[in-house]
């Protein structure tokens, strides 16, 4: 059985809305092997979390074998304005953007336009001579020559040597040089991101260490170079529209903005002020790693497409062999996992 759970939690008191027309065909929980008692416990869980003000609210969708068995909205869309959470709330997807960008890139691979073993420097030459930062025992950095090229495959699997920063307390002197995940989208366009990232040292030699970071953002920039389109335009034409992901975007319109889910003003764990800058900051860089928006229903359809082997409702996005390759282990024992 194939079970798919899509959850977006961003924001008291509890409300539950049952969809009249869900993103997938609906089924009774018992008919597809779900316990109604278990789903009731899920309602109780979110009631507790919202009452304790650990989250403002959530939208939860659960499907099995392509049938929707649970689709509810809980709590508030915007805790500062006491707006009830709707089923079609639009969430900042953060790193859930990455799988969509990877799928977009794989469509180019299937077309023969972007091979896995192409060098990233073929599209952005500055990646050909980046240095690798090595931490000395005294905490200082020395720089090594890049021993091998960064390949497109390295971007997919986060073995490019690129990393995330934005952590001033990090023990890594390289990490302290890097921006946080959404900073490039707020500060400039695609070329500005490439110019900035290629002036920094790599954290590791390419193809040696899994390091979660800006690899997928670079992959998105390569998509733009190959397709001669903005990443959002390419995704819309080749993924989102085919799947009926009506609200997926990098740039919410004025009509969409009232449905944006917002966090508490202060982090419930630390009490410190928090914000999601992308909610209110216009951007010119469609950052593939962290910057898309969509509804839970949209993302459920994306996930179901992958579970179906690349197709949904007669619309094929990827071939079954490509999807199988996508979900296979691409690291192996020779790659150190730096998680």
> 74-131, pLDDT tens digit by residue?
999 999 998 999 999 999 999 999 999 999 999 999 999 999 999 999 999 999 999 9
Neighbours of 314 (CB within 10 A): 6
> 280-328, pLDDT tens digit by residue?
999 999 999 999 999 999 999 999 999 999 999 999 999 999 999 999 9
- Cα(184)–Cα(189) distance, integer angstroms: 8
The answer to whether the CB of 75 falls within 8 A of the CB of 55 is: yes
> 172-197, pLDDT tens digit by residue?
889 999 998 888 899 999 999 999 99
> 10-43, pLDDT tens digit by residue?
432 233 344 347 899 999 999 999 999 999 999 9
Mean pLDDT of 49-54: 96
The Cα-based distances of 67 to 5, 70, 246 in angstroms read 11, 9, 20
Neighbours of 106 (CB within 10 A): 21
The answer to whether the CB of 247 falls within 8 A of the CB of 295 is: yes
For the chain, which domains are there? 3-96+245-318 (3.40.710.10), 99-228+331-337 (3.40.710.10)
């Amino acid at each position: 059985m194939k079970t798919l759970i899509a959850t977006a939690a961003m924001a008291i008191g509890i409300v539950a809305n049952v969809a009249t027309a869900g993103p997938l065909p609906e089924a009774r929980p018992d008919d597809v092997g779900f316990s109604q008692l278990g789903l009731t416990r899920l309602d109780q869980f979110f009631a507790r979390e919202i009452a304790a003000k650990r989250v403002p609210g959530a939208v939860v969708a659960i499907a099995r074998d392509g049938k929707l068995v649970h689709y509810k909205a809980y709590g508030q869309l915007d805790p500062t304005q006491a707006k009830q959470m709707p089923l079609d709330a639009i969430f900042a997807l953060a790193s859930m953007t990455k799988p969509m960008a990877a799928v977009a890139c794989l469509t180019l691979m299937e077309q023969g336009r972007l091979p896995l073993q192409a060098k990233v420097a073929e599209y952005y030459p500055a990646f050909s001579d980046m240095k690798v930062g090595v931490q000395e025992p005294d905490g200082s950095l020395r720089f090594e020559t890049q021993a091998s090229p960064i390949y497109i495959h390295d971007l997919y699997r986060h073995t490019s040597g690129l990393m995330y920063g934005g952590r001033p307390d990090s023990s890594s002197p390289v990490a302290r040089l890097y921006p946080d995940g959404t900073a490039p989208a707020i500060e400039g366009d695609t070329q500005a991101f490439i110019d900035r990232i290629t002036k920094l040292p790599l954290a590791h030699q390419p193809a040696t260490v899994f390091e979660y970071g800006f690899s997928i953002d670079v992959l998105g920039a390569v998509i733009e170079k190959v397709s001669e389109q903005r990443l959002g335009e390419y995704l819309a034409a080749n993924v989102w529209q085919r799947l009926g992901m009506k609200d997926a975007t990098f740039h919410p319109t004025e009509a969409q903005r009232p449905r944006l889910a917002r966090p508490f003003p202060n982090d419930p764990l630390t009490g410190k002020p928090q914000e999601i800058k992308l909610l209110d900051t216009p951007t010119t860089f469609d950052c593939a790693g962290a910057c898309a928006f969509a509804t839970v229903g949209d993302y459920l359809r994306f996930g179901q497409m992958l579970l179906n082997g690349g197709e949904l409702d007669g619309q094929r996005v990827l071939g079954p062999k490509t999807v199988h390759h996508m979900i296979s282990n691409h690291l192996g024992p020779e790659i150190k996992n730096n998680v």
